[in-house]
Amino acid sequence: MARKKRRSRPDNQTPAAEVSDQRLWEVDALRGVAIIMMVIYHFVYDLDQFGNFDIGASDGNWQRFANLTAFMFVFLVGTSLVLSYTRATARLTDEWSLAQKYILRGMRIFGYGMIITVAVWLVAPGGSIIFGILHLIGLSIIFAYPFLRWPKAAAVVGIGLIVLGYFMGYPRVDFPWLVWLGFRPEGIGAMYDYRPMIPWFGVALIGIAAGYMIYRNGIRRFSLPDWSQFAPVRWLAVTGQYSLAIYLIHQPVIIVVLELTGVIDMGLL
């Protein structure tokens, strides 16, 4: 009978007995802050795009606000992957079982992104979400797996991708196959929530490097007052734990409420 391939233990991995499986309230709370920022931005964006409001949600400070929100989400994806991986290595003993966990999770989130792609295509044919933040997070979870054992490599590659993205921008090309990397096809029209792998995967990798620095073995490596029972912080932490569900439902809820109140008119009701 074939024996399962066991993982070699890298220098940064410690025995299971030293791993903490306690949730870190500050990570959940920061994710809760990011999801609230996202809801605020999409509310403003809907008013700007579908109502008679000249807000400029796609430019200036509002665009910076959207980029900061995306940065927080993707950075926390990397940090959370470190915590998840630390706990998973304490339970799973073979390489394939461990890799499969992240491949399946990434595919599931990427699949949610594709559902949103189809929904936007049906509801707002003037634009599209071809590679939005859920597509990015799904692929990032899969592609980040090799870096979860080597945080120094994650830092180097992450910085490299961010620098490359800064200088490369989003070049226009006459083919669509690399849109996920950051090459925009000519004539594609408006792309909402465009977050390609270059440079945004670099943000996830920086989150991995930071996660190993400050949460090695799932244990906080810095002093922090315990605000977990403070009501607003507790509420933010719970919100952060359900960030994916909130992301999936918040836009339909916002649009339906704005349609019902007559603030916007997309002809949906």
In the block, which residue shows the tokens 């590679």? Answer: 131
C-alpha span between 230 and 240 (Å, rounded): 15
pTM of the model: 0.88
Strands 184-185 and 172-173: parallel
pLDDT at 114: 96
pLDDT at 69: 97
Which has the closest alpha carbon to 140: 64, 195, 210, 66?
A: 195
pLDDT at 1: 41
- Each residue's pLDDT tens digit in the chain (269 positions)? 444 444 444 444 544 445 556 789 999 999 999 999 999 999 999 998 888 788 988 889 999 999 999 999 999 999 999 999 988 887 777 788 889 999 999 999 999 999 999 988 887 767 789 999 999 999 999 999 999 999 999 999 999 999 999 999 889 998 889 999 999 988 787 788 999 999 999 999 999 999 999 998 888 888 889 899 999 999 999 999 999 999 999 999 999 999 998 888 776 66
**Residue ranges per domain, the chain?**
97-221
pLDDT at 11: 41
- Cβ atoms of 136 and 170 within 8 Å: the answer is no
Q: How far apart are the first and last CA of the chain?
A: 61
pLDDT at 16: 45
Three-state SS string over 77-146 comes to HHHHHHHHHHHHHCCCCEHHHHHHHHHHHHHHHHHHHHHHHHHHHHHCCCEECCCCHHHHHHHHHHHCHH
In the block, which residue shows the tokens 């054992």? Answer: 149
C-alpha span between 38 and 32 (Å, rounded): 10
pLDDT at 20: 55
pLDDT at 19: 53
Which has the closest alpha carbon to 251: 133, 129, 116?
A: 116
